[in-house]
Amino acid sequence: MAPDTKIIPFPIPTRSDANVQEMLQMMDVVNALRTQQGEVEKQLSHDDQVANLRIRLRATYEQMGVQVDDVTLDRAIRDQSAHKYEFVPPKRDFTYTLAHAYVERARIGKQYGIPAAVLGMLGLAAWGLTNLGITAYHKSQETDAEQAIESVYTQKITLERRTTELEKSSLRRDLPPAEERELDSTLDTLARELRETDFFFTAFCSQGTADDDVTKNNYQKARAQLTHIKPILTEAEIKLKRVQGIIEEQKGLQQTKQQLDAAIGSMQAAVIFPAFLGPATEFYNRGVKNVEQRQLSAAQQDLQRLQTINDDAGQFQKVGSQVEQVYASITQIVREDSARQDANSWYREALTYKQSADVPHLRESVAKLQELDKVLREEYTFKIVGARWRDHSSGTRIYYAKVQAIDMNGQAIPTTIVHQETGVTYQDQKMWGEEIPEENYERIKRDKEADQLLNIENQFGVKERGYRSWRVTLKDNVGTALPRKGQITID
């Protein structure tokens, strides 16, 4: 403080009975005097402040490698100082309203009959609540900044870990020289760019947490710097994915080559039909060439075809032996000419596919023979369980027997029918309608009405062993088996 500076003392009442009104007035005066005293001290030390500012500015520019003369520095300082004491009108917000009410508390108290002391206390309380809200807001902003910084820190650590893993990958040395150089260059750039962010995390997220480093005084600065850190990490993520892609492709090429070698090796070691080895060798050679040319997708397609041939070669002997077995089974039981003819045709077809080692078509022929053998061995009866009629769109009435196919164990067998009115095929029908003459309908009706059981005409047809088709056993009035006319679905 300059020696000629004087402080005007303010007489402070010492009465123990000083009221709240007097105390608030004294506080107002003391605060005003302190402010005046501070401004005097600032003005008296202005020259020292300018000199100190000039030194700091020159040091900053020298660190940047820039030479600045005193004239330029003084001009900059004067321009800045010229705006230092400009009056900025306060924002007319809630805080402004409280301050204004506090200053005018005496006038407001007289106008509305409220003691000024009470108004002062209320004003101070409201002011405190307002400051509390502002503090809570800044705390919330500080917490948000801490969480954002810690999230980005986690991203950085993950990128560094992945970069280190790729740097240590043994697959790098197997890359072509050009790709190896590109990968090494990218990894070096990645590591350098990630290290360049260390200063930020050292300042605001030391030891992996931002709780102690980010405060109400620096969270805005931290958030501003974070906006420059995020793009660096985003770009690093893109570069890392590109490197990862190169490594994964190299891994895929090596695995594909190993699988090609294993597949052709197993086929060469096994005793297989010669027709398989030629195509297998062709796909193997193509696959190896695509691996050498780094065409991973094409090489994997060649491997898939080679593995298919290998699988076919392994199944060929088993499927081929089934041809003779199933055909011999059919010839022993078949009693129907059309079924015998189909069996002979499919057998000759299977022998042709076996000779040419066409395993897919051979499997199809064997499957048809196996299905025929299964059907020929089935035995079941078509039982009548009731009868019904319906009027056709032509105006005629058509009669039907309600039928079920029952096997030797008494179980209903799902059957396929074709609806005679719509032509639609329905599968897995456990009950359906078979068209019958009116006289058969009447007999079934009378039999059922007698005791609610069918004792006379209770069988519509039979499927016998050795036959693929079944025959109708229900007879007309003269004892002739009925022809099969048509079917309908029954709900």
CB neighbourhood size of 343 (10 A): 23
pLDDT value, residue 1: 43
Beta bridge partners of 463: 380
Dihedral sign computed on CA atoms, order 64, 66, 67, 70:
negative
CB neighbourhood size of 5 (10 A): 10
Q: What is the pLDDT along the chain (491 residues), one digit of tens a residue?
A: 444 444 334 343 443 444 333 433 444 454 555 555 555 555 556 677 777 777 777 776 665 556 667 777 677 677 656 555 555 565 665 555 655 655 566 666 566 666 666 556 655 655 455 566 677 888 889 899 999 999 999 999 999 999 999 989 989 888 999 888 988 999 999 999 999 899 899 999 988 898 889 998 898 999 999 999 999 999 999 999 999 999 999 999 999 999 999 999 988 887 777 888 889 999 999 999 999 999 999 999 999 999 999 999 888 888 988 999 999 999 999 999 999 999 999 999 999 999 888 999 999 999 999 999 999 999 999 999 999 999 887 789 999 999 999 999 999 999 999 999 899 999 999 999 999 999 999 999 998 888 888 888 899 999 999 999 999 999 998 889 999 999 999 87
pLDDT value, residue 371: 96
Q: Long-range pairs for 184-191 at CB < 8 Å and ≥24 separation? A: 186/239, 186/242, 186/243, 187/163, 187/243, 189/239, 190/159, 190/163, 190/236, 190/239, 190/240, 190/243, 191/160, 191/163, 191/167
Dihedral sign computed on CA atoms, order 27, 29, 35, 41:
negative
pLDDT value, residue 12: 39
